[in-house]
Amino acid sequence: MLVGGKSDNELCQSIVDRCPGIAINWAGKTGIPELMALTSRLKLFITNDSGPMHIATAYNVPTVAIFGPTTKELGFFPYGKGHRVLEVPLPCRPCALHGGNRCPRGHFLCMRLITADMVSQAALEIMRK
């Protein structure tokens, strides 16, 4: 299940198109109440540092959180047990309190260095527990 705002629809649909029968695109189709209802039923939630991350952890849904421009030290991270934060230590982090679409240094290594394999491995480790 892929969720996000209306502006995420095209990206989410491109992912769904590569995963026929496995993934569902709900980007732009849910409000907060629907997102809460959906999230509460999940066995795992993979997300960036965002409001939906906090919804998942509030429901004790094991969460893999990807932190790029932001850091745990800013105080916004998945509280509780059973969650993982993926981040890459870089001297330019954090570059913003809430991140952004552009990297001030132009390289966006904080996100590019977190690979799909790293996310998959973290997810599998959580699911094994």
Mark whether 74 and 11 lie in a shared domain: no
CB neighbours of 19 closer than 8 A, spacing ≥ 6?
Answer: none
Count structural domains, the chain: 2
Instruction: Judge whether 120 lies within some domain.
Output: yes
Q: Which domain holds residue 6?
A: 1-30
| Lookup: tokens for 87 | 């981040």
Q: What's 2's DSSP letter?
A: B
Using alpha carbons, select from 74, 78, 77, 66 the residue that is nearest to residue 108.
Answer: 66
Is 76 found in the same domain as 55? yes
What is the reported pLDDT for 81? 86
d(CA 9, CA 3): 8
pTM score: 0.88
Say if residue 62's pLDDT is above 80.
yes
Is the same domain home to 65 and 2?
no
63-116 pLDDT per residue, tens: 999 998 888 887 778 888 889 999 999 999 888 777 777 888 889 999 999 999
* 76, 124: one domain: yes
- Tell me the pLDDT band of 12, cut-offs 50, 70 and 90: very high
